[in-house]
Amino acid sequence: MPAPTKSPANSGGPPAVNPRQVAVQTRELRKVFGSLVAVQGFTLSIARGEVFGLLGPNGSGKTTTIRMLCGLLSPSGGDATVAGFDVRRDAERIRQVIGYMSQKYGLYDDLTVQENLRFYSTVYGLHGTARDERTGALMRELGLDARATQLAERRMETKARACLCHRARAAGLISG
């Protein structure tokens, strides 16, 4: 991969990134929930292969930003692309080419085990009967039938939690 080049307009700043090398690009990204501005004016460019992290205190918009970039939330303003796909128009395509695992092992504490699997299978594009059949098969394969209605916040055996949370395994099992 060729090295980034300096932008003439920004010769003293960070190197410009060739558009074909951009993995994530945002410009003035914004997200508002009612009267709460969660993300305001977020602009960045991440090159392919670059390691990048979002750091900040609770409530600073990190999770909201990630969810917008994953196509799980639509921005209120600004623009963003991930792997060349627009986060508004191509959310489904973005979810097909990236991996996303939320905090707390990827399970939502206020959802049951079955509801968590249903949520993630929907995120990965399964709907209706196909989703129900696939999540049912996954519940049986992982021996989780007895825990289907148990809230994820209750302690689960390490093996069961690991099976649910390993994105490559769960996404592969869920999506077929």
pLDDT of residue 6: 36
- The answer on 64 and 129 residing in a single domain is no
Instruction: Tell me if residue 122 falls in helix, strand or coil.
Output: helix
Stated pTM of the model = 0.56
- C-alpha distances (whole Å) from 176 to each of 11, 126, 172 are 48, 9, 6
- Domain of 45 in residue numbering reads as 8-100
Q: Report percent pLDDT > 70 for the chain.
A: 70
Length of the chain: 176
pLDDT of residue 110: 77
The yes-or-no verdict on residue 132 having pLDDT over 80 is yes
> pLDDT band for position 5 (50/70/90)?
very low
Is 3 a member of any domain? no
State how far the Cα of 2 lies from the Cα of 28, in Å rounded to an integer: 28
For residue 101, which phi and psi values (nearest 5 degrees)?
A: -130, 120
- The answer on 92 and 31 residing in a single domain is yes
Is 150 a member of any domain? yes
Determine contact, residues 79/29, Cβ cutoff 8 Å.
yes
The per-residue pLDDT for range 7-35, each reduced to its tens digit, is: 334 444 444 545 568 999 999 999 999 99
State how far the Cα of 131 lies from the Cα of 124, in Å rounded to an integer: 10
State how far the Cα of 110 lies from the Cα of 153, in Å rounded to an integer: 7
